[in-house]
Amino acid sequence: MSGREGATRGLRCRECGWQGGLENEYSCPECFGPLEVAYDLDRLRAVLSWERIAAGPPTLWRYGDLLPCAPPPIGLPVGLTPLVPAPRLAERLGIGELWVKNDTANPTHSFKDRVVAVALARAREVGITTVACASTGNLANAVSAHAAAGGFDSYVFIPADLEHQKVIATGICGAEVVAIEGNYDDVNRLCAELAADRPWGFVNVNLRPYYSEGSKTIAYEVAEQLGRRAPDRMVVPVASGSLYTKIHRGFRELAEVGLIAGGPPVMTGAQALGCSPVAAAFAAGHDVVAPVRPDTIAKSLAIGNPADGPYALDTARATGGTIEAVDDEAIVEGIALLAETTGIFAETAGGVATAVLTRLAESGAIDPDERVVLVVTGDGLKTIDAVAERVRRHDIEPTVAAFEAALAQSSLVA
């Protein structure tokens, strides 16, 4: 059974607790708070097991009991991405056990495939034929590709200064690309207005309660891949805050249905200093997140008014975690450190997470005995310009003498 057919109760307001059916709404009719999908976890506790999960497909749909809709008949295979041991990075940082959840292995090379897969499954159920999104890049790639595979028309709305690589990867799949003169928050406001009077499925607007459920599957996979247990700490990039809070919710649900012992891990959030409203609120001890104007190379995290910011603060405090910010120089260093020690080339968001992990490890905030999972959300090939100047090459004539001369003038070791 999928959650929709079995244990899904409907939509619930995260603020006032209002409950309703599975509608294409994203705000509470009583208080205008955000909505999320509610499940009958008591019912799931009676039927759900790791054996039942393992018998499912090698995709995120193996966790269909904890998702709000049934898998689509056609589409790209998403999820079950590698959990990679990172002993060299762990040794460099003085961490006892470190893993990298490498979501670059998804079809469009980012975790956004997860949320789009669930959103489009919901769109198909209710007869939506055109899908759309507001995006900082990775979501645009995912919407365009999954729409192409599933037979939907698609429109993606992006900031005009988006990385060129992401624009190409979106347009080649057939989406109508609409570039807005403004930042992501401007794009998002326009999409909210458009969603009000068009029969389209804006995945992160009127389909958002379903879309965001896809992020939980990272928690499910990590627990399954670690031998059916949670790690001690997760390090997760924070943009809107949805990924961070939904991973926490995923572990909490696993605990509540009896699939893991104990509670969720410590949740460490990572932001770029040039767009760090949640980290700033956390550091100041505030419950309200003040919007900022983004100015960072980490464009995939450049959401100045994060919808889930207050819930991210709650998550950090409830788990004994923190939300930290690092500058652009540290982000580049983080990308390089991850690549040099694991062979995984992450985009700027991965550099942010690695840099925050590095800071905490060097400060002694991470116990050497902790089992830590670092979430890499996107591929470095999408943000090549961010690190291009760091990479050097040696141009020589095709002779041994030329090579030896270059060797003598560099740090290369024979």
pLDDT at 40: 95
Q: Is residue 5 part of a domain?
A: no
Mean pLDDT is lowest, of 20-34, 81-95, 126-140, for 20-34
Distances (CA, A) of 384 to 9, 165, 237, 345, 377: 44, 8, 19, 10, 15
Q: Does position 406 have pLDDT exceeding 90, yes or no? A: no
Query: How many distinct structural domains can be found in the chain?
Result: 1
Q: Is residue 207 part of a domain?
A: no
Distance CA 132, CA 204 (A): 8
Instruction: Please report the DSSP string for 338-398 in residue order.
Output: HHHHHS--B-HHHHHHHHHHHHHHHHT-S-TT-EEEEEE-BBGGGSGGGTGGG-------S
Region 377-400 average pLDDT: 92
Q: Is residue 135 part of a domain?
A: no
Which residues have CB under 8 Å from 33's CB, separation 6+?
A: 13, 14, 15, 16, 18, 27
Q: Is residue 54 part of a domain?
A: no
**Paired sense of beta strands 35-39 and 97-102, if any:** unpaired
- The Cβ of residue 186 has, within 10 Å, a number of other Cβ atoms equal to 16
pLDDT at 380: 96
pLDDT at 5: 47
Region 375-383 average pLDDT: 96
CATH number of residue 386's parent domain: 3.40.50.1100
Q: Is residue 200 part of a domain?
A: no
> Residues 235, 353: contact at Cβ < 8 Å?
yes
Region 110-132 average pLDDT: 97
pLDDT at 210: 95
Q: Where are the beta strands (DSSP E) in 87-145?
A: 97-102, 130-134
pLDDT at 377: 97
Distance CA 348, CA 354 (A): 10
Give percent of the chain above pLDDT 90. 89
Q: What is the number of H-type helices and E-type strands within the chain?
A: 15, 13
The range of the structural domain enclosing residue 97 comes to 83-108+213-390
Region 338-342 average pLDDT: 98
Distance CA 322, CA 297 (A): 22
pTM score, whole prediction: 0.94
Q: Is residue 76 part of a domain?
A: no
- Render the burial of 258-290: b for 16+ CB within 10 Å, e for the rest: ebbeeebbbbbbbbbbbbbbbbbbbeeeeeebe
Order the strands of the 322-326 sheet from edge to edge: 83-85, 97-102, 371-376, 233-237, 266-272, 322-326
If DSSP codes are grouped into helix, strand and coil, which group holds residue 180? strand
User: What is the identity of the amino acid at 375?
Assistant: V
Quote the tokens at residue 85.
Answer: 């041991």
pLDDT at 414: 44
Q: Does position 412 have pLDDT exceeding 70, yes or no? A: no
Q: Is residue 375 part of a domain?
A: yes
Q: Is residue 158 part of a domain?
A: no
